[in-house]
Amino acid sequence: MKIIPINEAEAVIDPLWDPALSELKQWIVEPGVSHGLSVRQNWCWSEFEWARRPIKGPALRMSRECGIDCSNYDRLVLSVMIPEAAVVRILAITDDGIRQMTAQPESITKSELILDLTGATRLDTVTIEIDASTDGISKGWFNWLGLQHSERLTNKLNIQSTWGEKWEKHLKDDTFEPQFKPDYGLVLNAEELSILIQKHETLTANGKTSPFVKAAFAAQVIPPETMIHDYVNFWGDSRYNRERDHGKFILNHGLNAAIAGHLLQDKVLLRLAARYALSIGMCKNWDDGFICRFPGGTFDHRCFVQSLCAYEVAGILDLAGEFFTDIGRDFLLRRLSEEAIGAINYNTWKHEYIFRCNQLAWFTPGRMLALGILQQHSMRVQPYIDIAYRELCESLEYTILPDGGYVEGPTYFRCVGRDAGLGVYYYSRIMGKSIEECIPASMKRCNNFADVVISTDSTQDVIAFCDARPLHDIISQAIMSGLLPGSSWARMLHNTINRNDGWPINEVYGPEHYPTMMADSAITWGLSERLKSTPIEMKKIVSLPDMGPIASHRYIGDQVVKLFIQGNQAGAGHTHEDKGSFVLEFGGETFAMDPGTCDYSHPLAGILHNCERHNMLVPYGVAERPAPQCPLEYDVKPSGNGDETAFHAEIDATLGWDNYYRHWHRKWDSLSPYLLTITDDYELIVGDGVEFYWQTRLPVAIDGSTAVITGQNSRIEVKAPAGCIWRVDELPLLDAIQHRLAFKREGKSGSIVVHAQIFS
């Protein structure tokens, strides 16, 4: 082991996050075949998983020799994400005897566990044990193992920020009276803001609580200067930061304060926005954490945080620019140039793959807005604006399929609608053109995609398949509605605004994670003024032959029955083990669900990928957790046909199950919207039989081979084959319980027929 200092008080001795530097292979991991244990290197951690709770002993025990001088430190630190309710023990053998500690973290967040080494000068071996305290599949990970000097760390943290709220040389003083005019007019110009002020006053006069005011209040709770530190958190994502930095949401608040400052004509809020920009500027690194700036390492989390900082700071320079002195503005322009644009350019040059997934588009709003501000101070920036636009158009041609589909699913489509859309929005304003003149043709292909992914559940925007969540960015809805009038994007936007009492807001991830981006809402408000078309009826049957999925829309009375069937384009990313799964909605509710994903900082995000969390047929009777290949390197796509009454689809889902299925073929037959029959024909290579899974959040009651799923105004009865008895497994979600209807069928081959009927 080597001691690699990361600051004056701390050092890393095993960088377990970095595939290039990690010494995971030097650890001796005790076998866990009986409970399906696996330990492997992954993206930014060393990940462990077990399929079931062991009969006795720890679920994981691993140790390694260290042989290092620890005399300059007094603590051993393990950065770890522990499965819920699990217990971890750390044991160290030192020249001063054995040291050990036991911990059961109170919350499910990444923790830094401390083992006292006071008095020891040599660390010989370290052993880590984790006890499983719950049954079922569990996941977690190690980030790094390090050393710490407690007194030096206290001194470092005490002097981390010496900035007060006055910023005498960087901001004009409290007596300054602004004209409430944007400096550049790129986010919103004075005329647009005037219209939004009138709209805001109309809604609040009618007694409607303003989300803009709510966001402004949240921005005032914690002084931004107290959140100045070495790094900038990626919203609520805690995979990369330090435990001591959890909850430091320095991003979004400032731009929210600037928007509200204009709507309320409140100079205190505008000055607060300027303070947020300077506080972000004073953060040493516009990056997630030291793991992305590790001495001698090359691991980076791409330029997500840099592009967010660019967007926030550039937006505040526009909307609250009146408050900055020359030195304050020039300081931030330098940070935009060096720390943001420099990092974004580096990522664009280094990582060719970012053109072929969501990332190039993701980085574009911050990149384009920052370049637009910088261009106002140097015309030499213009070529870089043109390059950014051309690269965006190139990326969209790669990522948007010929059928208009997007292989990373509906939530990542925000990188088309929201991120690419905003990139084009800012480019058009920089160039003095209309957004319609600048929209790439590729974005106009996405009509059928909207029909496939739109949810008929009244609480959702989209069906949450792949790494998706049920609410979709409202500005993505607005931009796509403008491109494709009358499409399901317009239907989605209409539903979202109605659901939010007339306000242009969709709190996609919720306030418990990080502040909503109210600039998106304000821009949406302006764009939606032009969206007067009435949404057309969704297609009866719509498929995406390049992407894979297919969907049917039929009616019982005036209520839609939607059946969505998942498919796969070879190599698609952010996908789950769900080829052959389906979603069934009726009457504004979801009866057969896909769990989508959750906060990536939580191990549940990995578990939700698993086939056991989807409406699948899964082998049982093997030691490990049976799973198909994921990502799946094959085209596995359903075919189907139907009309307003009947629907039929089928899929050969065998590919990817190489070690488990010799054959698995699934059919969906629905002679009327009320009826659905699912037929599975299968032959196993290994295992004792199969389990059939049907997932829902709704209440479930079972009576032998009949299960009843009950909604607000309707129910579905699901009948298992004769001799099969339903059970209900309660599986945790971050916000609810997932009810898994399941039954077993013994035997290595056979045919299973399940009947479902809707009662309205």
Share of the chain above pLDDT 70, in %: 98
Collapsed DSSP state (helix, strand, coil) of residue 230: coil
Q: What pLDDT score does 385 carry?
A: 98
Please give the average per-residue pLDDT across 643-650, as a whole number.
Answer: 97
Would you place residue 511 in the very low, low, confident or very high pLDDT band (cuts 50, 70, 90)?
Answer: very low
β-strands 541-543, 111-116: how paired? unpaired
List Cα–Cα distances, 42 to 68, 79, 613, 685, in angstroms: 26, 15, 22, 29
> Does 512 have pLDDT greater than 60?
no
Q: What pLDDT score does 510 carry?
A: 47
619 sits in which H/E element? strand 617-620
Mean pLDDT of all residues belonging to the chain: 95
Q: For 171, which DSSP code?
A: B
Of 163-177, 418-432, 697-711, give the lowest mean pLDDT range: 163-177
How many Å apart are CA 657 and CA 627, to the nearest integer? 7
The burial of 710, by beta-carbon neighbours within 10 Å (0-12 exposed, 13-18 middle, 19 or more buried), is given as middle
> Does 84 have pLDDT greater than 90?
no
Pick the closest to residue 555 from 454, 456, 463, 639 (CA basis): 456
pLDDT in tens, 540-564: 999 999 999 999 999 999 999 999 9
> Does 500 have pLDDT greater than 70?
yes
For residue 390 the two structure tokens come to 């051309």
147 sits in which H/E element? strand 138-148
Would you place residue 161 in the very low, low, confident or very high pLDDT band (cuts 50, 70, 90)?
Answer: low
Say if residues 631 and 573 touch (Cβ distance below 8 Å): yes
Q: What pLDDT score does 158 carry?
A: 86
pLDDT in tens, 310-332: 999 999 999 999 999 999 999 99
CA dihedral 477, 483, 484, 487 (to 10 degrees): 10
How many Å apart are CA 245 and CA 239, to the nearest integer? 11
Q: What pLDDT score does 185 carry?
A: 97
Please give the average per-residue pLDDT across 374-381, as a whole number.
Answer: 97
Say if residues 469 and 597 touch (Cβ distance below 8 Å): yes
The string of DSSP letters for 54-81 reads -SSS-SEEEEEEEEEE-TT-SEEEEEEE
For residue 69 the two structure tokens come to 């001088």
How many Å apart are CA 333 and CA 310, to the nearest integer? 10
pLDDT in tens, 680-689: 999 999 999 9
Please give the average per-residue pLDDT across 258-281, as a whole number.
Answer: 98
Token pair 């909850």 is found at: 247
Residue 153 CB contacts under 8 Å (≥ 6 apart), including other chains: 9, 10
The string of DSSP letters for 689-704 reads EEEEEEEESS-EEEET
Q: What pLDDT score does 514 carry?
A: 74
Please give the average per-residue pLDDT across 599-606, as a whole number.
Answer: 92
How many Å apart are CA 387 and CA 39, to the nearest integer? 43
Domains and CATH numbers, the chain: 4-158 (2.60.120.430), 190-528 (1.50.10.100), 541-759 (2.70.98.70)
Residue 553 CB contacts under 8 Å (≥ 6 apart), including other chains: 451, 456, 538, 539, 540, 541, 542, 560, 561, 562
For residue 647 the two structure tokens come to 């629907």
Would you place residue 509 in the very low, low, confident or very high pLDDT band (cuts 50, 70, 90)?
Answer: very low
How many Å apart are CA 668 and CA 645, to the nearest integer? 14
Residue 676 CB contacts under 8 Å (≥ 6 apart), including other chains: 563, 584, 668, 669, 670, 755, 756, 757
β-strands 38-41, 46-50: how paired? antiparallel
Please give the average per-residue pLDDT across 555-583, as a whole number.
Answer: 97
Crossing angle for the helix pair 267-282 and 304-319, nearest 10 degrees?
A: 150
Q: What pLDDT score does 134 carry?
A: 85
Give pTM, 2 decimals.
0.95
